[in-house]
Chain A
Amino acid sequence: MSETSATRARRGEAPLAPTAGQTIGPFFAFGLSYDRMHQVAFPHSPGAIVLGGTVYDGAGAPIPDACVEIWQADEDGSISRARGSRRRDDHTFTGFGRSFTTDEGHYEFWTRNPGSVDGKPPFFAVLVFARGLPNKLHTRIYLPDDQAALDADPFLSSLTPDERATLIATRTPDGGLRHDIHLQGEKETVFLAF
């Protein structure tokens, strides 16, 4: 086993300085798109749902050049180690998807409801990139269904009701999920640092 970070820290050795992030810029689509990239689950397969919403700027205008990525556990809470997110075979669940917003600022995924991991309320790990956004933004989209689990979560409990609402999706009548992301403004989404 290699030495621990704590050992290095005790010796006063700084870890390597990280590479800084930059904006995704305006012209990412031709570089990052690939076939069926938003199909975490094959459309209309058992358990498949649509997760979608709009990405807004601080003036309330939809952002037509954003990229939203999700990474999630499967329905049973397992974390896929299967390869093939970038070359879909239409049956392997890899847990990752990518969606570019439309001219109306809309992103959309075909996926499955993530299950609970370690007894925590289930959520999608989410990254947002956009032209004009100098670096990535981390956030989460929690499933709305188990109110007791959401109430018991220490992180969600630390937020005001308005803040918390920015992290919890709305269940649509057809069983899908709707969730808007606000980069700025009154309804600004809660973003995360680790």
Chain B
Amino acid sequence: MTTTEPSATAAAPESLLASPDMPSQREINAEIADLHAQAAAREAAGESVPNTLYDFAPYRSSVLRHPTKNPRLVDPETIELWSPAFGQRDVAQIESDLTLQHRGEPQGERITVTGRVLDSWGRPLANQLVEIWQANAAGRYIHQRDQHPAPLDPNFTGAGRTITNDNGEYFFTTIKPGPYPWKNHVNAWRPAHIHFSLFGTGFTQRIITQMYFPGDPLFALDPIYNTIRSQKDRDRLVSTYDHDLTVPEFSMGYRWDIIVDGPDATWFEQEEGGH
């Protein structure tokens, strides 16, 4: 048997998950309000402020992991104006149904999640790889480092993927994830969310984000949701309940569109006169 000695500098990842100071929710709320006000003031003063704030101490694990310098504004090179090409060969149809991955039915509220992937001009993006992952109905991730003592569901993994159709639409069948406790501060809970990963048509448009559910009482308390500085932009991460998407006596339905941002190859063609 061979073993590999871990390097002396590496900390066990699970030990990094708890914040060093464990502030109260009240303190976190005050820090969030301060940072939102500061960002609004900077914007009012004419500064270009990103939608998602990188320097956001209420999210404690960001303190040593955010750049301290502003990013360099550069002209994208050709490779950055294209994205990897994905297609139906990259995923199997069944991978979009997270309730079918095991022998039995998962616990929880069965839902359809659907929407369109668009660019900033409203053009639907076909053949987009959409990857999602989420906690189970009890708020537990299958990840081995998740130590939340809620039950694992033997019939639910929580990962899915699909390719958008010609109208830029994606469709998932899954179960509604539960809220999830974490160790950012005392009694910290994440609002229920599904992680989404997309590429866009240029690498500049690549996005990883989180979709939330309407009316969650945890929104105002969550430092991660609030890394997004404006209410309008935060609202755009919240899906809409759509009764037309429900299946009678079977499932609920939520709709959520994703708008990718940033230049791609067609953007430059347009700039040059539209041919």
Contact = CB atoms under 8 A, between A and B. Distances in A.
Interface stretch (A41-49, A117-125, A143-151, A171-179): A117-125
B66 A20 contact: no
Interface string A130-155: 11111111100000000000000001
B65 A63 contact: yes
B51 A18 contact: yes
A183 B66 contact: yes
Contacts of A132: 59, 61-66
| A contact face: mostly helix, strand, loop, or mixed | loop
Interface centre among B11, B80, B257 (most CB of A within 10 A): B80
Contacts of A21: 51-52, 207-209
A5 interface: yes
Contacts of A16: 118-122, 259
Interface string B76-90: 111110111111011
A168 to B, nearest CB: 15
Interface in B120-153: 120-123, 129, 131-134, 141-143, 145-146
Interface string B52-63: 111010010111
Nearest to A114: B79
B52 A64 contact: no
Contacts of B70: 193
B80 to A, nearest CB: 5
Interface residues of A, number: 81
30 contacts: A2-B121, A5-B121, A17-B120, A17-B236, A19-B207, A19-B260, A20-B52, A27-B141, A27-B143, A30-B143, A31-B159, A31-B195, A61-B11, A64-B11, A69-B206, A71-B203, A72-B79, A79-B82, A85-B85, A123-B79, A132-B62, A133-B62, A134-B66, A138-B71, A158-B72, A183-B65, A184-B67, A184-B68, A191-B71, A192-B73
Interface of A: 1-6, 8, 15-32, 57-59, 61-65, 69, 71-73, 79-87, 94-96, 103-105, 114, 117-118, 120, 123, 125, 127, 129-138, 155, 158-159, 183-184, 188-194
Given A58-B68, A136-B206, A194-B75, 18 more contacts: A18-B51, A20-B237, A27-B143, A30-B159, A31-B134, A61-B9, A64-B10, A69-B206, A79-B82, A81-B85, A83-B85, A104-B9, A114-B79, A125-B77, A134-B56, A134-B224, A184-B65, A194-B73
Top 7 A-B residue pairs of the complex, sorted by shortest distance between their CB atoms:
A31-B133, A18-B261, A132-B61, A96-B84, A15-B120, A27-B143, A86-B90
